[in-house]
Amino acid sequence: MDSAAGSCNACGTTGTALMKLSLGKDFFGRTYDRLSPSTDQSPKWYCESCSMQKNLQRDFRDITTEIDKLTAGQTSQLSKPDEFQRAALRVREIVALLDAAQNRSPLLAGGDVKRLLERLNSITISA
Ligand SMILES: [Zn+2]
């Protein structure tokens, strides 16, 4: 698919390879229907670094939503110890990827991710 005439929907970069981002499943393997439901009807195009950050943003939001539920005492994916471990690893990975990124992400603030990691670290899940 040729999208050379377009620009990145996040940072506005032009003249670079763009990828149509498919967000079919969320971090917990559920059908993706929350972050931006209109995306499926009008696909967005992102340059390489933004498409990577868009995936990080999606996982960040999924995990944030679930930790909100967990701390509110509601049913949460993070009630399962293995999912919790997987989410904690992913958030650490996101922090590292954002730290290593050349360009500051227009999509995801490093400080927000670090706060999420602190929240995860403050929770103990009993197996
Ligand atoms: Zn971009």
Question: What is the DSSP code string of 91-103?
Answer: HHHHHHHHHH-SS
**Residues around ligand 1, an ion, CB closer than 5 A:** 8, 10-11, 13, 47, 50
- At residue 17, does pLDDT exceed 90? no
**Could you give the percent of the chain with pLDDT greater than 70?**
77
Whether residue 127 is contained in a domain is answered as no
Q: How far is the CA of 29 from the centre of ligand 1 (A)?
A: 26
Asked if residue 93 belongs to a domain, the reply is: yes
Q: pLDDT (tens digit, 9 = 90+) per residue, 40-82?
A: 555 678 888 888 888 899 899 999 999 999 999 999 999 999 9
Decide: 10 and 46 in contact? Cβ < 8 Å.
yes
Domain count, the chain: 1
| 33 CA → ligand 1 middle, Å | 23
Within-domain flag for 117: yes
Q: What is the pTM of this model?
A: 0.74
Q: Which domain holds residue 41?
A: 18-121
Please compute the mean of the pLDDT values over residues 6-24 and round it to a whole number. 81
Distance 67 CA to ligand 1 centre (A): 29
Helix or strand (DSSP H, E) at 18: strand 18-20
Bridge partners (DSSP) of residue 47 are 18
Reported as a pLDDT band with limits 50, 70 and 90, residue 93 is: very high
Distance 19 CA to ligand 1 centre (A): 10
Count how many Cα atoms sit within 13 Å of the Cα of residue 79 in the half-sphere of its side chain. Answer: 9
